[in-house]
Amino acid sequence: MAFDPSVSLRLINNERLRRSLGWGEYRDLGGALALTSDAPVPDLNRIESFVTDERHVEALLDVGFALLRAFDREPAAFVTPLDRPESLGEHLRRRGLAPGERTVSLVCSDDATPGRANRDIEVRRAGPDDATTFANIVAAGAPKWARSLTLAGTLAGVHDPGSTFYVAYDGGEPAGTLHLLRDGATAGLYAVATLKAHRRRGVCSTLLAAAVSDARDAGCDVVGLRTAAEGDARRLFEAAGFSPAHESVLWTAPADA
């Protein structure tokens, strides 16, 4: 699909809402937002949503990076096609940062039916009692801090009226997860995960079909998600009827800097 700034803005705002549900804390810098969290990763400790101009961008970066250092975090910036000024990348390079992880935001086509539901996969809506099961699947094999943060975010989210958490069961065993977050007419899909032992069984497709159906029934006309710009996940989602809305780049200091 052609780049639509209004659709991209809705997806970005939905992601910001999701991070606010137990994942991190935002601070308004007066021209950008600073995100900080307990997670020792740049993706949750960064400056984003730049709406400044050439005259003020350097001062804004000074303030934002000083704030990150105050939380013992390295400078990082998340840049989308909506960020301004256009020279932002040049300013980041001069400060020793380089483009790193690229991600793509995808939107479900209006006429798409995501995935083919496997009747052998049972999808249940998760409540507070299922938070540990949900977090264990999402953070399987991840460090302890990731499991703790995922559990905290899940416990915070299950009480949010716009959130629906799904757990898929394969042969009676927990196998996959998905978090649907509705914000007005926008829906974001998060924590799409399948345990390794249950892959290639239609778990992901069945979860996507259930969540997109629920989002559309709730009146959402934009249903999207974000994933790595290259790799199997993107190919899976595009095969399920999702198309690119925009790409984003996380700028960080090179490892050998």
| Residue 109 pLDDT | 83
Confidence bin at 68 (pLDDT 50/70/90): very high
Kindly tell me if the per-residue pLDDT of 257 is higher than 60.
no
Whether the Cβ atoms of residue 207 and residue 242 lie closer than 8 Å to each other: no
Contacts of 111 (CB under 8 A, 6+ apart): none
Percentage of the chain modeled with pLDDT above 70: 96
Exposure letters 16-46 (e unless 16+ CB within 10 A, then b): bbbbebbbbeeeebebbbbbbbebebbbbbb
By the 8 A CB rule, do 137 and 207 touch? no
Q: Domain 111-220: which topology? A: Aminopeptidase (3.40.630)
Instruction: Look at residues 249, 183, 250, 193 and name the one whose alpha carbon lies nearest to residue 218.
Output: 183
What average pLDDT score do residues 112-132 get?
Answer: 84
Tell me the domain boundaries of the chain: 5-104, 111-220
Rounded to whole angstroms, the Cα distance separating 205 from 198 reads 12
Please give the pLDDT value at position 121: 92
Cα–Cα distance list, 238 to 55, 114, 166, 212 (Å): 40, 9, 21, 14
Contact 73, 45 (CB under 8 A): yes
Predicted confidence (pLDDT) per residue in 208-241, tens digit: 999 999 999 999 999 999 999 999 999 999 999 9
**Residue 119 pLDDT grade (very low, low, confident, very high; cuts 50, 70, 90):** confident
Q: What would the mean pLDDT of 169-196 be, rounded to a whole number?
A: 97
User: Which of 132, 235, 242 has its CA nearest to residue 189?
Assistant: 242
C-alpha span between 103 and 250 (Å, rounded) = 8
> Residue 125: which of 168, 95, 159, 93 has the closest Cα?
168
More confident residue, 156 or 119: 156
Encoded amino acid at 104, one letter:
V
Task: Give the residue from 19, 23, 31, 18 showing the smallest Cα distance to 58.
Answer: 31
Here the tokens at position 140 are: 């399987």
Cα angle value 78/143/171 (rounded, 5°): 105
